[in-house]
Amino acid sequence: MRSDRWPVTALLLTGPAALLGGALAFQHVGGLAPCEMCLWQRWALVAALALALLGWVLRHARAVLALSALAVLAGAAIAVFHVGVEQHWWPGITACAAAPVTGSAADVMGQIMAQPLVRCDAIAWSLFGISMAGWNALISIAIGGTALWRLKRA
């Protein structure tokens, strides 16, 4: 076992788990339903956590831990894009926007009901002027960047 990689493994196990736990707490305790891009960020964290667990099982395998860190950074990239959508710096994805509504009343009702319940361009929660996606981006960059930096040094 490479003991010099244990801090990286611990960071990649606890960081994504804490971010996922926080997101789930906001959802189930705070009542903040996630939008489509929020869910994508969660999937990146799930992948990072799974890879970190695999890295731990494989005795702190550097390549697997690096992939875990890259998954965290992929989630950060999605979060940065999400912040841009929230701030209206660029348009969001079609999964987060309402499509044009046309057709009969039944068709219109079906189209309305098929739309996402939570808009990606609406900030549901913020702290110090930074949205939840913004905090996820900052924390994920810190976790992924620190992990890669430590792996390079180890």
Q: CA dihedral in degrees (62, 64, 69, 75; nearest 10)?
A: 170
Number of structural domains, the chain?
1
pLDDT single digits (tens) 98-145: 555 566 777 666 665 665 578 888 888 889 999 999 999 999 999 999
Amino acid making up residue 118 = V
pTM of the predicted protein model? 0.83
State which residues form the domain around 63.
3-153
**What whole-number percentage of the chain has pLDDT above 90?**
63
Of 29-33, 71-75, 116-120, the range with the lowest mean pLDDT is: 116-120
**Highest mean pLDDT (candidates 36-45, 54-63, 92-101):** 36-45
Report d(CA 25, CA 48) in Å as an integer. Answer: 19
